[in-house]
Structure 1
Amino acid sequence: MGTDSDEGVDTQEAIMQATYRALCKDGYANLTVQAIADEFDKTKGVIHYHYDTKEALLVAFLEYLLEAFEQNIAVDDQADPDERLLTLIETLLFGPPERGEFDHWELMTALLEVRTEAPYNQEFRRQLTRNYETVEATVVAIVEEGIEDGTFREIDPELVATLLLTCLNGARIYQVTLQRDDVATDTQESLEAVVADWLRRSESADEPS
């Protein structure tokens, strides 16, 4: 039999899952505590017991989404820098190779729904900023390692991160909002060319002049 603490965690997980289903079904504008309660076998009172306000629930929900997103983009630290970077690009566009807990494009849609509220919600901005900085730091670390071992040419890693993440974020938004299935694929091909033609150290760089 679970402890009270275990039951509390299980209930909070159920609330997060119900919020996710309600958001995917109804969109942010129509997301209500009742709509969330309708998605699992408990009452609104249970939700209010764990979260005093709808805003507190949504702040917790955004953290839940971002944790799922960051787990989905984890890459093999033992791979070569160029392989790790290409894997990260693919994962940011299409989700993990092995299906994660959430459907990738549903998760991207849910995050986009919440992002639209960030200009008006300081806590949303704080969490989204932390998420961006986490992903940015991952790209920077991969590029720095590639420069150090000679895989990549000498270049500003933060410049690379800004370029890649701007393209990737734009492609995800474009695909989600316009339902253009070709956008992510075209973006992947373009960024693979950027890595090959711009970022990788050319063989001629090792030749004596």
Structure 2
Amino acid sequence: MGANGDGDPVDTQEAIMQATYRALCTHGYSSLTMQSIADEFDKTKGVIHYHYDTKQDLLVAFLEYLLDAFERDIAVDEQQDPGTRLEALIETLLFGPPERGEFDHWELTTAMLEIRSEAPHNPEFRRQLSHNYETVEAMVIAIVEDGIEQGVFRDVDAEEVATLLLTTINGARIYQVTLQRDDVAELTSASLEGIVRHWLRQPGGVGE
């Protein structure tokens, strides 16, 4: 849909996304309504409905917005050696970007968890979350394969390594936000660092 005289449509949609984020963090998915989003917005609920016919339409767009921000936040320095790149990616996935990203990391993790809980019943959510997982998985696989080629990592199955790392990281984030256990991510970080440095890295290899 287009603008309706309420200013730049891109700015308006950005404001709606930010309002949705605040409302979701405050109310949770089950209590989220168009009115609660409008309460976080400096315009009327009618403006939201102008851009998004239903709450479902809005939340599909919102999930895409969150995932785009997440993927920007986890970009890695391609100039670093594969071991350093992989460790940096693990730390970013667990704790957020070294410099503050677009959202508070744990608030974003909580918001994503709220939406993930609906994915089994929502094919569009599931499609977007699957794409996001595949994007991150491809990043890990590429780093591991690069490390094998350079002699930094052992000759392993890169896809299996990606599954191990991402399953562990996702589990740690879920436990941390649902149980309010501040130590879970730290312990997971230490464990995965050990896996990368003492199992994945080639003994005496490049960068060792």
Structure 1 residues 4 and 75: alpha-carbon distance in aligned structure 2, compared to 1, 3 A threshold: farther
Q: Does 1:178 align with 2:179?
A: yes
Counterpart CA distance in 2 for 1:178 and 1:119 is: 22
Q: Does 1:189 align with 2:204?
A: no
Give the Å deviation of 1:96: 0.3
CA offsets per residue over residues 155-180 of structure 1, 9 Å max, x none? 00001000000000000000000000
- Specify the SS of the correspondent of 2:30: helix
Give the Å deviation of 1:5: 10
Q: What residue in structure 2 maps to residue 138 of structure 1?
A: 139
Counterpart of 1:81 in structure 2: which amino acid?
A: P
Counterpart of 1:137 in structure 2: which amino acid?
A: A
1:32-43 matches, cutoff 5 A: 32-43=33-44
Counterpart CA distance in 2 for 1:5 and 1:116 is: 37
Q: What residue in structure 2 maps to residue 207 of structure 1?
A: none
Q: How many residues align?
A: 202
Counterpart CA distance in 1 for 2:101 and 2:195 is: 28
Counterpart of 1:168 in structure 2: which amino acid?
A: I
Counterpart CA distance in 2 for 1:173 and 1:73 is: 18
Give the Å deviation of 1:4: 7.7
Counterpart of 2:102 in structure 1: which amino acid?
A: E
Length-normalised TM-score, structure 2: 0.95
Counterpart of 2:186 in structure 1: which amino acid?
A: T
Q: What residue in structure 1 maps to residue 55 of structure 2?
A: 54
Name the Cα RMSD after superposition: 1.5
Q: What residue in structure 2 maps to residue 66 of structure 1?
A: 67
Counterpart CA distance in 2 for 1:100 and 1:31 is: 24
1:89-168 matches, cutoff 5 A: 89-168=90-169
Kindly indicate which of the two structures has a greater share of residues assigned to helix: 1
- Specify the SS of the correspondent of 1:30: coil
Counterpart CA distance in 2 for 1:178 and 1:103 is: 18
Counterpart CA distance in 1 for 2:183 and 2:71 is: 24
Counterpart of 2:65 in structure 1: which amino acid?
A: Y
Structure 1 residues 53 and 4: alpha-carbon distance in aligned structure 2, compared to 1, 3 A threshold: closer
CA offsets per residue over residues 16-46 of structure 1, 9 Å max, x none? 0000000001111110000000001111110
- Runs of at least 4 residues off by over 2 Å: 3-6
Counterpart CA distance in 2 for 1:153 and 1:142 is: 13
Give the Å deviation of 1:101: 1.4
Report the identity percentage: 74
What are the ranges of 5 or more consecutive residues in structure 2 without an aligned counterpart? none
